[in-house]
Structure 1
Amino acid sequence: MKRQKVRKLVLLISLLLFPITIYYFSPYLIIQGALESVISGSFIVFGLMLILSVFLGRSFCSYVCPAGALQEASFSFNDKPSKIGKRRYIKYVIWGIWILSVAFCFWRSGGIKKVDPLYMTEYGISIAEPGAYILYYGIIGLILLPSLICGKRAFCHYFCWMAPFMVIGTKIRDQLHLPGLHIEADSNQCISCNKCSKSCPMSLDVAKMVKKEECQDSECILCGVCVDTCPKNVLKYKIKSK
């Protein structure tokens, strides 16, 4: 469980830094930058997410993302599993419309003319004025509300605009048969205690995946909670190609 303590510590630090970093996760600033022919900091961050996910999957969501930290903090108020199903596709619709909007804005402004990682920040700091906290707390509410109403990490499942980048990255890895971080299972050792499924912060039926020895799912964030919860060490982290 030491790994989970480290993971939660990193998430806590990420959350404390959120007022500084929030603009680097902003989908709106990418559109605003595109209208001015500028590659913004969030554009660069999302590009790095795509590249790193080829090798690390969605582990950013579980180890670094401040929005993930917020939602896991809300488990004290609502720790029921989220209903995933077709609702997971909402985020892809949002992402698709947003990507088309970004492309259109760059086309309208005449293409890329400048790269500015600190675009719209004050010396790299996102929230530098008291009035900006109104927007900040509005975004906090936007992230927390789905989880408080629908269950664990519901915002990740339904609305997150960053998740599709990492899902695409893992799909590219699998298509190219590149090595990357996975979770593997040995079903022969499983005692069907279901602790893995009950502990999963993404509400996945891990026990069912273990039985099939197929632990890949686009909603899996590779947090390792199932690995650390399993009493028989059925689940393990592995780096391999598909």
Structure 2
Amino acid sequence: MTTGTPKPQIDTSKPHSARVYDYLLGGRDHFAADRQVGALLPEKSRRDARLNRAFMQRAAAWLASEGVDQYLDIGTGIPTEPNLHQIVQRINPKSRVVYTDHDPIVLQHAESLLASTADGATDYIEADIREPLVILEHARATLDFSRPIALSVIALMHFITDGQDPYGITRTLVDALPSGSYLVLTQGTADFHPQLAGQVTGTYTKGGIALRLRAHAEVARFFEGLAFVAPGLVTAPQWYQEAPAPADEDCSFYVGVARVP
């Protein structure tokens, strides 16, 4: 499924969180303003980004192997292969995926995000997570909300400040999902390296990007009322299903997958 979209206008003079993340992952879709922010972040931020991305890939593959065939991915970011639809449609070609982001440069890459198997479907919504009802309304055109859906919110909520009601946003989205759905969420934390938190937060703030790192208990609130899939709320490299986790690798992302009862 594809949707015709006008060519977006991109302000390259200001950094954007999606493009900084692309820089940290070693991508090519960023500009000088994004590189200026990324270059000032500690080297650990690059490793954390890669570990977080690897978790997303493992979680998506596990969900698909469990029979989930519908996905709503919010805060998609700039495509970095393998993308979510490539992972899940490789396991189940009939999987349907809706991507959502509000960064114009992501919209420019919509064609690659909309590539799909003949039996499956992908769609792209230009929308902001701070407008969850808008996202849900558009997602219903592609996804069947009477059957389980995996809601994926990867490396996004730490850019939603407390004043923007992060828990209310996620609750609105989760409450719209039927029983048997899943929430997949990752969030940056300062729990393990508080000495770096000021540098990371200050660097983003100087670039005009708000950042709210959260402690374990604060991240757990996003999953209230849901049933965690083992191993629960852990750091990105600790989340494994099919094999034991490798030796504990340092990471500043909490990650979790939880089932809607």
Query: Does the TM-score normalized on the shorter chain lie above 0.5?
Result: no
Higher strand residue share: 2
Larger radius of gyration: 1
Question: TM class by shorter-chain length?
Answer: under 0.3
- Give the TM-score taking structure 2 as reference length: 0.25
Bigger RCO of structures 1 and 2 (CA < 8 A, at least 6 apart): 1
**Higher helix fraction: Structure 1 or Structure 2?**
1
Q: TM-score, normalised by structure 1?
A: 0.26
